[in-house]
Structure 1
Amino acid sequence: MNRVKNAVLCLLAIWSILPPAKAQETGRTTESEVKLEQLFIEAHRERLLGHFDEAEKLFQSVLKSDRHNAAAAYELGRLYDLNEDYQKALQYAKQAVEFDASNDWYHKFLADIYQKTGSYHDAAQIYADLVGQHPNDDYLYYKWAYLLVQANETTRAIKVYEDLEKRIGLNEDLIRRKHTLFLGLGDTQQAEAELLRLVEAFPENTDYLHLLAGFYGQIEEFDKEKETYQRILQLDPNDGKATLALARSNRQSQDDYHYLQSLKAIFIKPEVSIDDKIKQLFPFVQKIVDTGDQQLGQVALELADILEQVHPQEAKAFALYGDLLYHTGQRREAIKKYRQTLELDDTVYLVWEQLLFAYAEEGEYQALVEAAEEALVIFPNQATMYYLAGMGYGKIGKHRDAIGLLEQALLMAGRNQLLQFQAQALLGAEYHEVGQDAKSIKAFEQALQIRPLDAAVLNNFANSLAQRGEDLDRAAELIEQALKLQPDKAEYLSTKGWVLYKKKDYSAAREVFERALSQGGDEDPLILEHFGDLLYQLQETDQALLYWQQAQEKGSDAPLLEKKIANKQLYE
């Protein structure tokens, strides 16, 4: 209520400075004029309350009573503008200017409506007139020039800036605006001339020289670019951007390895921004990933080490070092760097994600779980974090915890089909582990709907069915599809052998298991144990015992395996 009251008081003040009415001319206020003022104030009140339809009716009543009331026409224009009815807004804005040509606000409002309707030339002309009336108002020049640019009258806009410059003197902002407009016209000579004027006026200012050098690089005047950077270094030998720019300019005569070597002299300078350094090194990280170039990787690691030493409080130095270690196959060392990164700044999501993937790939699942729980406190809305945490819990045998996290990941995955697939694939395995067989089948089927030719999911689905002795024909189809994709993978051959074992086709199973063993399966304790089970069924008890013992030696601590060995008997 107070806000409305104050607004009404302001309106009374505004009304007092509106164009002279008859009352002011005669010195008396008639009853009709008082009513008109009251009507105007009531219209304003309705507008402030958001009652636009009522306000429109009241302003129209004012205009009906006083056909040349500029203020009412202006307010009607504003109402129509708010409702995006620009044709009516234009009609009343023109009337306001016609009824009171001395009011700058009416002219500016009309220009705004012209601008909204795309009539930039007309809008610009209004500001041209306003500049004529108020030649010392800088804003009017800027707005005039802007509208001329929108009207594709760039040359006239430049002239406006030049007129303003004559009045206020050489100005960086004006120079840069004119420079940009000349570039837009394709007039690189004039664009250069503008920056040279700035440099000549302030020859010690390296910021302006950087502008000039950047422009030369943009138009591929590389010799001039190099000369300008050299001039910067004469003024400031520690200018990092200029130093790096000169290093870049020499790159054409160097291969990647020697170019990176040349950066060492720059990377040791603490005054050179770490961001500028990383900008130089980062493209080579991807190149190392793509090519596996060990020599390039080694010199990049040396540069990352320098970054870490020179900028020990910068998290990004450790993060870059970690990425290089990760992509050169040194994941354990990468994990240390990612941890150091997070000690300095734990708010960068991608570093957490990379750390968790590194733990997963190294098989450090307990560490994966602990780190994922830390990350989820900071990033509770990141679906991938729930997926990775679920993976970790599954690997350490906490299958129900894994299911809860994976279901949450699936719920949050949205349209991310890759994450949907990954979550469903793991859920298929985790549901199987807790005996929720129907859910397991559904999850595997949904994963295969997204990626029907994923060999790992085909294998895991088949294996889960075989373990339960359920729908073995379907299991056989699934594993055959997986083997078409990867015919020599020991794990998949073992699954096929296990399906045949469950079907009691021991002879065929033996042939497949022997292939699996020849493809590296002799290092897998589960494959060795299953082959021992098969040999037992074939009544080769001594050989069965031998393979069970090998499985134990390879690291299996399965209770049933120990019992098989102790009693020389098969337990299932």
Structure 2
Amino acid sequence: MTQRLLPPSVAPVLLACSLLLSATACKKDPNVQKQKYADSGERYMKEGKFREAGIQLANAIRIDKNYSRAHYDLAKTYLSMGVPISAYQELLRTVDLDPNNKDARLDLGKMLIAGGLPDRAMEQAKAVLALDPNNAQAYALRAEVEHAHKDNDAALDDAKHALQLAPNDSSLHALLGVLQANNPSNPEAKSELEKAVNLDPKNASARIALAEVLNASGDANGAQQQLRQAIVAAPNALQLRVALAALLRRNGDQAGVVQTFQSAANDLPDNEAAVAMLKDFYLTQNKTAEARAAYTSLMQAHPKSTPIKIAYAQILMQSGDTAGAQTVVNDLSKNDSKNPQVQVLNSLLLLKQGKIDDAYALEQKGARNAPENIPLQLLLGRTALAKNDMTMAENAFRAAAHVDPTNLEALKGLASVAMVRGDSNTLSQVATDTLTAHPGTEDAFLWRATAAASQKEWAHAQADLDSARKLNPNDARALLLQGQILNAQGKTGEARSSFEQAYQKDPHSAEALSALTTMDLAAKQPQAALSRINAALQQSPDNPQVLYLNAMLQMYMKNYPAAKASAEKVVQANPANEAALQLYSQALVATGGTDQALTLWQNWFKSHPTDARAALLLGTLEEAKGDTSKAQDYYKQALQIHPEDGAASNNLAFLMVETGGNTDLALSYAQTARKQLPNSPSTADTLGWVYYHKATYSMARDLLEDAARQAPQDPNIQYHLGATYAKLNDKANALQHLKQAVTLAPDSRAGKAAASTISQLG
């Protein structure tokens, strides 16, 4: 077949289309795209536009997550921005992707030295020397490791060897000078450091070391001059400004410190670390007015600076100007809504408004998008704790600890989760990790003592308690824990003494007051407890924790109107206090205000639609009113939010069999409840009662006997067990438990049903 020719008019068009398609394909080639982003990032780095560089390099990594060049450049960008933790993560990733990247290994080694991990830094030095036996910087890194191990002779030898390999390297002269400066009488230190500065006037570490040598010799003016000259030569080197401020502070020049930090913010308005220094300086001294004035001026000078706006919003929040902070954050959100710091600010403002669910949703979204942002993860962890979502709290705190294993707030968060869960193994491990990273941390000794006490390892618990008390003899928490340990051993007299001492040390300690109240009630002395709480209220009439404890005691004493008044005060002080709201609703129900309690929780549920506990409570209120259909609907909503909710599963299963519902489905719910709450007499009762309705009487009996042993005064359990014995033709046991149900609650539904069954048995 003859090949068909194209008409002359068509050929050029197709050729043009071919060229266009080729160009489009080239434009969409991911390898080309990622390289363009990386090139753009490098240009921004050279211009000192580090935030823009970071965005471009992150774009390159989105195209190819294994693009080692972009990871390394991003690490250098983070270092320039003063974000060392993120830089460290990127260096680890770079070395993992490209083990032959000697510069990345050396940078990683320096960070490991700075982080107090010299042995791991030595691994990087050895790896570089294996690739390049004459690498001067690898010998320099080895010298720094040896210096960290106080092997100064070996460090000097390696530093001198490095200089033999690269005699004109400013950083190597600086290293040798620093090592020589360890001996104040060594005149060569100053000479080496001056060589380093002459070779590279922008060498920040050399300038800082030379300034220290000059200041130590009494030449404070010369030291300051060195650092000021260095800042002019290398304005982006933030460590120079930090060093100058530290020198001025040591010499008592507070005004100079302020000027240094203010210049840093003015010169580097897009550098988050540079902008934050002045704010941190003022706020640590509680000078919020000065901070506000300074950053108002900075805002006027740099209206487009996101870091300055963020710092200003933080200052406004610290000074209590929530409305002003909201205005600034709203402006930030227009263009920087995905900035993790902006998300943190937005969330904090939502929390101040009581919109905990909205804040929680925002934090979760932000943490997914920026998993390595520690402040965002910590905030998510704290909010999850407040919402009793222990899984989310643990995940958030672990994410923060993964980025920075020494972060004390992350470790404290993990300890809090472990204590809520009663997980002594995790609590002990977190305590040990904390003491490794932060020796002498009192909290860690208390955590480990708590963990040991839960395992009844009294000697270990006492040893850690003693360590905690040596660190802080006046801490009421150690005395409180001491009392709990003594009480667990049956030493009630000594326990009470410890609780009383704790309360004397800290009269505002609700925990100590609660412990003493519990002991009074155990001794059947409620009036003594009430007197102590009234005395506490005279000292602090608006203390919400004491008011809450007072309301609980009043409920115990069946003084329901007083309990209602006390709980109402707590709710008025903090409408977001869900525990107080629950106590208040209990008091309302006890005083005939079930409809008011329902309205209260319906309003709460509208504004907190993901609160499974609210749905559960609404179900119990509807059940108390006798509307079993609405109650079941609420229990189902609770399970839609939290499918493993044991209480909701239990209550739903019980109502289903009571109202003739699907017993197979009820069995599934009851089994879920029993799995989640294996030690609860209520779940044993419900599962047993479901088995009763499925005519599996032997299984029902075993569960109901267990429930009756745990809660012998519950008329419902007594009735269910008696009815089960009746089905098993065990009349004697049936009558025993049925009569007990009637005795306990003759006018209740269970009592009347038991009486009817007794009459049927004759």
Place the TM-score, normalised by the shorter chain, in its bin.
Answer: 0.3 to 0.5
- TM (norm. structure 2) is 0.34
Larger radius of gyration: 1
- TM (norm. structure 1) is 0.43
